[in-house]
Chains A and B, each alone.
Chain A
Amino acid sequence: MYPIILLSVLGVVTLFLGFSKSKNILLPAVLFFLVLAIASNFVEWNKGPLLYFYDMLRVDNLTLAFNGIVLLSAFMIVAISGGFQDNPDSEPAEYYGLMLFSLVGALMMIGFEHMIMLFIGVEILSVAMYILTGSNKRNLRSNEAALKYFLMGAFATGFMLFGMTLIYGATGSFKLSHIHGFASNIQAGTQPFLMYAGLLLLLIGMLFKVSAAPFHFWTPDVYEGAPTIFTTFMSTIVKTAGFAALFRLLNTSFSEIYGFWWIIIAVIAVLTLLVGNIGATSQNSFKRMLAYSGISHAGYMLIALTALTKPSQSAIVFYSLAYSLSTICAFGVLILVSKEKTFEGQPNERYEAFNGLAKQNPVLAFVLAVSMLSLAGIPLTAGFWGKFFIFTSAAERGIIWITVIAVLMSAVGIYYYFRVIISSYLKEGDLIKIRVAPFYQVILLLATFLTILFGLAPGVFEGLI
Chain B
Amino acid sequence: MLTLLLILLPIAAGVLTLLSGERLAKQVALVSGLAVLGVAVATWLQFDPAAGTQFSFKYAWLASGGISFAAGIDGISLVLVLLTTFLTPLIILSAFNHDYRKPASFYSLILFMEAALIGVFTATDAFLFYLFFEAALIPVYFLAAIWGGENRLKVTFKFFIYTIFGSLLMLVGLVYLYYQTPGTHTSEITAFYQLQLPQQTQGFIFWAFFIAFAIKMPLFPFHTWQPDTYTESPTPATMLLSGIMLKMGVYGLIRFLLPIVPGGMEIWGTMAMVLSVIGIIYGSIIAIQQSDMKRLIAYSSFAHVGLMAAGVFSYSINGLQGALIQMLAHGINVIGLFFIIDIIYARTKTRYLDQLGGITQSTPHLSVYFMILLLGSVALPLTNGFVGEFLLLSSVFQYDGWLGAIAGLTIILGSVYMLRLFQKSMFGPRSKWVEGFQDLTMSERAVLLPLVIMVFWIGIYPNTFLKLTEPAVSQLLQMVNN
Contacts and interface: CB of A to CB of B under 8 A. Distances in A.
Contact of B62 (A403, A410, A458): A458
B179 interface: yes
Contact of B172 (A379, A404, A462): A404
A462 B65 CA distance: 10
Contacts of B169: 404, 407
B62 A462 contact: yes
Interface stretch (B4-12, B87-95, B131-139, B427-435): B131-139
28 contacts: A378-B138, A379-B130, A391-B175, A392-B179, A400-B176, A403-B175, A407-B168, A407-B172, A410-B168, A411-B161, A411-B165, A411-B168, A414-B160, A414-B164, A418-B160, A418-B161, A422-B153, A425-B142, A425-B146, A426-B145, A426-B153, A458-B61, A458-B62, A459-B61, A459-B63, A459-B65, A462-B63, A462-B64
- State the main secondary structure of chain A at its contact with B: helix
Nearest to B177: A395
A415 B158 CA distance: 9
Contacts of A426: 145-146, 153
A203 B28 CA distance: 60
Residue from A379, A426, A458, A463 whose CB has the most chain B CB atoms within 10 Å: A379
Contacts of A391: 171-172, 175
B178 interface: yes
Nearest to B170: A407
Residue from A396, A457, A459 whose CB has the most chain B CB atoms within 10 Å: A459
Interface string B145-185: 11000000100010011001100110110011011000000
Interface of A: 378-380, 388, 391-392, 395-396, 400, 403-404, 407-408, 410-411, 414-415, 418, 422, 425-427, 457-459, 462-463
Contacts of B168: 407-408, 410-411
A422 B157 contact: yes
Interface of B: 60-65, 130-131, 134-135, 138, 142, 145-146, 153, 157, 160-161, 164-165, 168-169, 171-172, 175-176, 178-179
B131 A380 contact: yes
A317 to B, nearest CB: 15
Given A379-B130, A458-B62, A403 B160 contact: no
A379 B134 contact: yes
Nearest to B145: A426
A207 to B, nearest CB: 26
Nearest to A311: B65
A400 B62 contact: no
Contacts of A407: 168-169, 171-172
- State the main secondary structure of chain B at its contact with A: helix
A366 to B, nearest CB: 13
A7 to B, nearest CB: 34
A380 B130 CA distance: 11
Contact of B135 (A380, A403, A408, A410): A380
Contacts of B179: 392, 395-396
Contacts of A403: 172, 175
Given A391-B175, A396-B179, A403-B172, A379 B164 contact: no
A414 B175 contact: no
B160 A395 contact: no
Q: Which 8 A-B pairs have the closest CB atoms?
A: A411-B165, A407-B168, A459-B62, A379-B131, A379-B134, A395-B179, A395-B175, A391-B175
A17 to B, nearest CB: 45
B135 A379 contact: yes
A418 B130 contact: no
B267 to A, nearest CB: 18
A219 to B, nearest CB: 25
Given A388-B175, A404-B172, A462-B62, 11 more contacts: A379-B130, A380-B131, A395-B179, A407-B169, A411-B168, A415-B157, A418-B157, A418-B161, A457-B61, A459-B64, A459-B65
A315 to B, nearest CB: 12
A418 B165 CA distance: 14
A235 to B, nearest CB: 24
A258 to B, nearest CB: 19
A404 B142 CA distance: 28
A463 B64 contact: yes
B134 A378 contact: yes
A282 to B, nearest CB: 16
Contacts of B172: 391, 400, 403-404, 407
B145 A422 contact: yes
A415 B165 CA distance: 11
